[in-house]
């Protein structure tokens, strides 16, 4: 898909889902820029690392790291 195909479309900054005109979407701001998010999980992920998502770092790298940090350690903590 080229950039012309995406013209006027909006995508979740965390998971990449197209959310143009979708109900139940959210928009958060970081450093004066507006970021679209598709669901509460993506809002939570963005809230945990807004500067990294805003910088254009690969979203799935950030999400995987955040999920790894949320998992329980082997000793139950």
> Which sequence spans correspond to the domains of the chain?
1-72
CB atoms within 10 A of CB 39: 16
Q: What is the mean pLDDT of residues 58-76?
A: 77
Segment 48-72 mean pLDDT: 86
Q: Tell me the per-residue pLDDT of 3-31, one tens digit each, with 9 for 90 and over.
A: 567 677 899 999 999 998 777 789 999 99
Q: Decide: residue 53, CB within 10 A, 0-12 exposed, 13-18 middle, 19+ buried.
A: buried
Inform me whether the pLDDT recorded for 1 exceeds 80: no
């Amino acid at each position: 898909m080229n950039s012309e195909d995406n013209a006027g479309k909006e995508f979740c900054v965390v998971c990449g889902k197209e959310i143009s005109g979708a109900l139940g979407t959210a928009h958060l701001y970081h450093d004066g820029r507006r970021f679209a998010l598709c669901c509460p999980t993506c809002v939570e992920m963005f809230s945990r690392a807004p500067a990294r998502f805003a910088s254009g770092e690969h979203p799935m790298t950030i999400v995987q790291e955040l999920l790894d940090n949320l998992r329980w350690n082997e000793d139950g903590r």
